[in-house]
Amino acid sequence: MFEYYNYIKALHLIFVITWFAGLFYIPRLFVYHIEAAQKPEPEKSILVNQLKLMTKRLWYIITWPSAILASIFAFWLLFIMPFWIEQDWMLVKLGFVVLLYAYHIKCHLIFRELQNDVVKWSSNKMRIWNEGSTIILFSVVFLVILRDALNWIYGVIGIILLSVILMMGFKLYQRIRSQDPKA
């Protein structure tokens, strides 16, 4: 089984990438959907129907299958290399995976609401929500690459700084957009 390790690892990584691609794009589609719901008819109906179709295809054809396949290949890797589960970095990574699934499930709940024409989020709050998967991705990549060399204090400070930079970028975007609505 070990001779297939690199193939399994490659497949795991491919599906992690496609999973994140879906998680990066779905909140962006939610933003467009929320903004389209505020437009006058017939523009509203045309845009909302198209965005519902786009999100449904992204969610069920790319994002959910990628999440499931990434997890299957991850469990397979842990089966081949069971000693990883005893390493601190792997336990922390699994914690981030649980957090990622929580983010994914919340996105699914938002998806279902929007599919039923229930809009509870503002486009600005959805833009902030969109950064959640980015923070998780940065955390996991640095954790996996650095493993035991990771200094937890610097890691926590780095994630906080990343979050602050993302928020500052969001605020700057809001300011630019309020001055030029076409931005």
Is 33 annotated in some ligand binding site? Answer: no
What distance in Å separates the CA atoms of residue 19 and residue 77, rounded to the nearest whole number?
18
What distance in Å separates the CA atoms of residue 113 and residue 26, rounded to the nearest whole number?
13
What is the token pair recorded at 77? Answer: 């890797």
First to last CA, the chain: 53
Is 12 annotated in some ligand binding site? Answer: yes
- On whether the CB atoms of residues 140 and 89 are closer than 8 A, the answer is no
What distance in Å separates the CA atoms of residue 23 and residue 67, rounded to the nearest whole number?
10
CA 57 to chain CA mean position, Å: 16
What distance in Å separates the CA atoms of residue 95 and residue 85, rounded to the nearest whole number?
12
- Helix (H, G, I), strand (E, B), or coil: what is residue 81? coil
Known binding-site residues for heme equal 12, 93
Known binding-site residues equal 12, 93
